[in-house]
Structure 1
């Protein structure tokens, strides 16, 4: 939602119980909330993965991190250049919903199906109005014929 603030879907239980699988983590600038220090939670890139773990110690530009659910620190130190942001807060379990929306079935159920239903209601209303209009025209014609017939009968 901003270059400095990003959302990440948590796909593992490595930070439980603080952050659960399916939560969405909002991470701000790396210096947010007093900067990075031991105990801070950071989100960083590790190869193709994006990981959110707690900082255990800092040595210059190198962070030692670990998941709360693990006894051991992560096998690779994290360079400050890998850090994408500092943890600000989480939205519990919304990640399951957003992950589902990214599937074909989720897209269909959340976007396509409601659009089809809405279009169906609109078509029904259009047909209903067209039939009402046709019925009104028929009634006007019927009234005109009745008036003309009555007028002819009353002519001397």
Structure 2
């Protein structure tokens, strides 16, 4: 039996354990951040939209995320930026994020900040409330666009989880294969210390 091998083996196991813990914490952090990015705006009462066109360039670049609070339609004013679906006759079926440039009764006119002309339609907001932009974050939208793809989303969540599982399995295999080391008894420890002291010609009290 080697008394010196026990601390070394313990240190090796400790290092491997710390690496596994760090990997686990990193994986958990990634999953939590992704979940927060998707859920937090809704929990705070905001709606989130990704800018995918260039009509608001100079204010919101492509890839930006805009956060919008839901307000009563009667609170909307010229200068507010809103996200809405244009009327059917416009031929546009997607959401548009544009600035209100005119309000005539219940008729609204909008324009993209990067466009020279106003949008070629007027529209009414039939709901009682409407999302209005209150903040934006540049570039983050690219992440959301990527995560909109199911394969990418599964990879972001699945790869860290798989790595954590593999590291845990490898640690378990190493632990099972490692030779079991008996803990030295008190008498053996005293004898080893006495022998070491004698070898160094150092008196030791036993």
CA RMSD of aligned residues (A): 2.4
For residues 77-116 of structure 1, the aligned pairs below 5 Å read 77-81=122-126, 84-116=130-162
Q: Which runs of 5+ in 1 are unaligned?
A: 141-156
Counting matched residue pairs gives: 135
| Higher fraction of strand | 1
State the alpha-carbon separation in 1 of the partners of residues 45 and 153 from structure 2: 28
Deviation, 1:123, is 0.6
State the alpha-carbon separation in 2 of the partners of residues 3 and 124 from structure 1: 42
Matched, 1:45 2:91: no
State the alpha-carbon separation in 2 of the partners of residues 129 and 100 from structure 1: 39
Q: Which runs of 5+ in 2 are unaligned?
A: 1-41, 183-206
Structure 1 counterpart of 2:52 = 11
Segments of 4+ in structure 1 off by > 4 A?
none
Q: TM-score, normalized by length of structure 1?
A: 0.76
State the alpha-carbon separation in 2 of the partners of residues 37 and 85 from structure 1: 13
Matched, 1:70 2:115: yes
Q: CA 1:79 to 1:3, structure 2 compared with 1: closer, same or farther past 3 Å?
A: farther
State the alpha-carbon separation in 1 of the partners of residues 66 and 140 from structure 2: 10
